[in-house]
A and B are shown apart, each in its own frame.
Chain A
Amino acid sequence: MHNKTVTTENPYSNTYDLDNCDKEPIHIIQTVQGFACLMAISSDGKAIVKQASTNVNAFLDVTHDQLLGKSIFDFISINAAERLKKGIKTGNFLEINPVILPAKNERLKQRLLSIHQTDGQLCIEIEHRIEHENELYFLSMVDHAIQQIQTSAVSQNLFQLAVQEIKKVTGYDRVMIYQFDQDYNGQVIAEMKEKHQEAFYGIRYPASDIPKQARDLFLKNRVRMLTDVDDHLSLIQPSLHPEKNTPLNVSKSASRGVSPIHLEYLRNMDTQATLTVAIIEDNKLWGLIACHHGQKKVLDYRTRSLIKFIGNIISGHLSLHRATEYRENILKNNIIHARLFEHMNQEQDIIRGLTEGRHSLLDYIYADGAVIIFDNQVVQIGNTPTESQINRLVDWLSKDPLTNLYSTDRLVEENPDFEDFAKDFSGILSVNLSGNISEFIIWFRQSQAQEVTWGGNPNEAKNRLKETGRLSPRKSFKKWKEVVVNQSLPWTEQNEDAALKLRSDIKDILLKRFGQLKKLHEDLSRSYHELESFSYTVSHDLRSPLRGIEGFAQILVEDYSEKLDDFGIEVINTIVRSVDRMNSFINDILKLSKLAKLEMIPEVIDMEKLLEDIAHNYRLVKDPDKKINIIIEDCPPIKGDRITIRQLFANLINNAVKYRRPIDDAYVTIGGKESDRKVSYYVKDNGIGFDMQYVGKIFEVFSRLVSEDDYEGTGIGLSIVKRVIDRHRGEISVESKPNVGTTFRIEFPK
């Protein structure tokens, strides 16, 4: 505490200005406004005046010098003194305040005396009683105001209602409600003003506009009145308590003076008088009701008490509203959540479920945009950064796969590398959908400074405020923008819970789907297994009677050949040939059914070795009718199931051999090449070829373009080839010209 003498010219021993107004010790500003006088009295029951403001003479029939050291009881009526004594004795000030001092003479009309205690020091304030302009109806107006407030529904704008009623009751030109954010930056959220005035609705200002000490004082003294910015202020004399040697703590005094900085600010707003009422929620300063008047205005103790009362009602009702609103939000959110979940479930597609329903992710959690990164897709909703910016963000978020949720309202601070887009999208709320791959849902909020504009109307020159001072609403707004640059509306706990809930749902759906797929796989596997054993059984049961037919036909020939003529023998030969054919069919059916097995063992196949191996068998053939030149060119490896790939190429080479033309340089060439995403192979021969109009039938099971007499075979070779390619998710195409040759082209994905 400063132990310096205070003079009337310079009430401060130190100079405080914009840069250090935080440090201004306003609770011991030793000035008193003109509408009341303030004095410190002893606690011994004698009420000796120890310190007093120099304007006591305006309120008592005694001068300042005469008063000091005397008992206050000597200067008030007996009844008043009794009342005051009682209060001091019991300590119950609520019961006695205000003590009415009856009119003494023309100069001293009826006055109100109030007593309070701070830091163990009793203080008394005396002010003139003022008839309210609507005195008769005042109480009923207050009553009406309170009723309106208390019966307001959550959906109504409680604040607009409040400013309306307060303006009616108090008569101030302009009544506003300021709301503070968590950093105590402020915003005007409701306003009632005179028609000619510029609107301040929507204005934002930085926390520094109302320094911390001022905010703290509001918690102690909920109503603050400044009757006249040009008021002559009185000093408290002596400045230090004669015994305690400390300055008077004026925090609870209604009449305490105002810091010059604040006065300057008010003058820049063309405001002459103010009344400020605190709105408290949860023991914290939630906001303020600020009343501004263009002329001097005084409300007396009773009126102030009633206004304070209205303030308390509003505070209470606010809590109620917010609790109800919170509950309603949660309910609404639960409904949206349920709908999203239902939709995801129905669609069996997370992305469709989240984007095509009635509610979007932005309904679910308030945001400017969102992105879903899932299943190799990036789906943007609303306003978001660009895809490449999102990718950078995702890379960064992926670095910590164990974190389920990450949120910030100041991304630039968190990671300056992202400034290029984070200055626009400062808020991100992100949940990861899986532990090991990058799958996220991210909500974006734009920077507040971007979103908020307040300008008033710059063209209304007549009523434009002075911009000359250091302090002004416009400057405040500009300063606010600087403070909240790169910050978005912060994410609430409710937002985060909602995000986590959605994440959990998605995981549940995925798990369920995985379970279903697994079951489907098992069912399919079982079916194929059954098909295989069925084919197997059938083929075996068919072979036995075939053996019989062929066997006994042979026996007929062996035993009765002398008795059979040529025709008879031919008949039997036909029977035998038919059986052979039937056996071929059975073999091929078995081969085909084996391909249905689901277990393919993928490996990287050395194609050179595989093809050489197949070719080797054909090179051993001495029969000139089957002689063919097998040329193997570049063979890049193929990733696939060795057995079936072998079958595939064996079948194609077999066809080339079977369908060769009877020429000397019959050949088949096999080779391949590798590209970015696939491996392509060709099998090209100069055999008999076929008419391309039949190309559609070529891969059908048992379909042939030649007769069985000319060429053996059942027509299953190429169907097996097609099946193998399908299983490997490849593609096959063929070109052919009769009597020229045929080329097969196959592609395998890598």
Chain B
Amino acid sequence: MVHMKHIDLILVEDSEVDGQLLKRIMRKEELTEDYVWMKDGSQVLEYFKDEKAPLPTAILLDIKLPKVNGLDVLKEIRSAERTKNIPIVMYSSSFRKDDIETAYKYGANSYLTKPTGFADMKHQFINFFNYWIKLNRSTVKFQG
């Protein structure tokens, strides 16, 4: 894995369509190019096993993922000393009460439900990015 000096966002999303749309938004709206898109839960955990891997400013985490699902990923990340404070925002089509409650219980910082329309999706992601990443860029300590 190539260690970039700095990662704004780790996007964990298994849907090809949703991922492409988000990529498009980040590019078209000129938000960032310093992101990593992972498509299954185990990849994320693998990434953090490497002590030298740089910590992202934020993680946008889907729930429905192959291999290890998002809630378990969340729990894992929160359990390690090194990664327990990384801002994690859930990003799921589920608005089920159990999912939302469990996510907060496991330590998610926020929970976003995927909207139906593209326009809404765009606005939602821009708001997310501005708050969780743009604002926090300077405050993230990274291990070099």
Interface residues in chain A, defined as those with a beta carbon under 8 Å from any beta carbon in chain B: 536, 540, 543-548, 550-552, 554-555, 558, 580, 583
B21 close to A543 (CB less than 8 A)? no
* 9 residue pairs from A and B, CB less than 8 Å apart: A543-B116, A544-B15, A544-B18, A544-B93, A547-B18, A547-B21, A552-B17, A552-B20, A554-B119
In the assembled complex, the Cα of A540 lies from the Cα of B96 at a distance in Å of 11
Chain A residues within an 8 Å CB radius of B116: 543, 546-547, 583
Smallest CB-CB A-B distances: 6 pairs = A548-B17, A551-B118, A551-B21, A540-B93, A554-B118, A583-B116
Q: Which of B18, B118, B121 has the most CB of A within 10 A?
A: B118
B117 at the A interface (CB under 8 A): yes
With contacts A543-B114, A550-B117, A552-B20 known, what are 6 further pairs, Cβ within 8 A?
A: A543-B116, A544-B114, A547-B17, A548-B21, A552-B17, A554-B118
Q: How distant is B74 from chain A, measured CB to nearest CB, in Å?
A: 20
Across the interface, A547 reaches (CB within 8 A) one of B24, B28, B94, B121, namely B121
Q: Which of A548, A550, A551, A555 has the most CB of B within 10 A?
A: A551
Q: How distant is B141 from chain A, measured CB to nearest CB, in Å?
A: 36
Which residue of chain B has the shortest Cβ distance to A533 in the bound complex? B96
Main secondary structure of the interface of B (DSSP, over half): helix
In the assembled complex, the Cα of A552 lies from the Cα of B20 at a distance in Å of 9
Interface residues in chain B, defined as those with a beta carbon under 8 Å from any beta carbon in chain A: 15, 17-18, 20-21, 24, 28, 93-94, 96, 114, 116-119, 121
Chain A residues within an 8 Å CB radius of B15: 544
Chain A residues within an 8 Å CB radius of B24: 551, 555
Which residue of chain B has the shortest Cβ distance to A553 in the bound complex? B118
B93 close to A548 (CB less than 8 A)? no
Chain A residues within an 8 Å CB radius of B21: 547-548, 551-552, 555
B117 close to A558 (CB less than 8 A)? no
In the assembled complex, the Cα of A543 lies from the Cα of B93 at a distance in Å of 8
In the assembled complex, the Cα of A552 lies from the Cα of B116 at a distance in Å of 13
Q: How distant is B113 from chain A, measured CB to nearest CB, in Å?
A: 10
In the assembled complex, the Cα of A552 lies from the Cα of B118 at a distance in Å of 8
B119 close to A558 (CB less than 8 A)? no
Chain A residues within an 8 Å CB radius of B96: 536
Chain A residues within an 8 Å CB radius of B119: 554
Q: How distant is A742 from chain B, measured CB to nearest CB, in Å?
A: 31
Chain B residues within an 8 Å CB radius of A551: 17, 21, 24, 118, 121
In the assembled complex, the Cα of A558 lies from the Cα of B28 at a distance in Å of 10
Q: How distant is B19 from chain A, measured CB to nearest CB, in Å?
A: 10
Which residue of chain B has the shortest Cβ distance to A582 in the bound complex? B116
Across the interface, B114 reaches (CB within 8 A) one of A536, A547, A558, namely A547
In the assembled complex, the Cα of A96 lies from the Cα of B93 at a distance in Å of 116
Which residue of chain A has the shortest Cβ distance to B94 in the bound complex? A540
Chain A residues within an 8 Å CB radius of B18: 544, 547-548
Q: How distant is A669 from chain B, measured CB to nearest CB, in Å?
A: 35
Which residue of chain B has the shortest Cβ distance to A583 in the bound complex? B116
A544 close to B28 (CB less than 8 A)? no
In the assembled complex, the Cα of A410 lies from the Cα of B118 at a distance in Å of 87
Which residue of chain B has the shortest Cβ distance to A539 in the bound complex? B93
Chain B residues within an 8 Å CB radius of A554: 118-119
Across the interface, B118 reaches (CB within 8 A) one of A536, A544, A547, namely A547
Which residue of chain A has the shortest Cβ distance to B119 in the bound complex? A554
Chain B residues within an 8 Å CB radius of A583: 116-117
Chain A residues within an 8 Å CB radius of B114: 543-544, 547
Q: Which of A543, A554, A558, A580 has the most CB of B within 10 A?
A: A554
Q: How distant is A609 from chain B, measured CB to nearest CB, in Å?
A: 26
Which residue of chain A has the shortest Cβ distance to B15 in the bound complex? A544
A545 close to B17 (CB less than 8 A)? yes
In the assembled complex, the Cα of A580 lies from the Cα of B115 at a distance in Å of 12
Q: How distant is A531 from chain B, measured CB to nearest CB, in Å?
A: 16
Chain B residues within an 8 Å CB radius of A550: 117-118
Q: How distant is A411 from chain B, measured CB to nearest CB, in Å?
A: 63
Chain B residues within an 8 Å CB radius of A545: 17
Chain A residues within an 8 Å CB radius of B94: 540
Q: How distant is B38 from chain A, measured CB to nearest CB, in Å?
A: 18
Chain A residues within an 8 Å CB radius of B118: 547, 550-551, 554-555
In the assembled complex, the Cα of A550 lies from the Cα of B17 at a distance in Å of 11
Which residue of chain A has the shortest Cβ distance to B117 in the bound complex? A550
Which residue of chain A has the shortest Cβ distance to B118 in the bound complex? A551
In the assembled complex, the Cα of A543 lies from the Cα of B28 at a distance in Å of 23
Which residue of chain B has the shortest Cβ distance to A546 in the bound complex? B116
Which residue of chain A has the shortest Cβ distance to B115 in the bound complex? A547
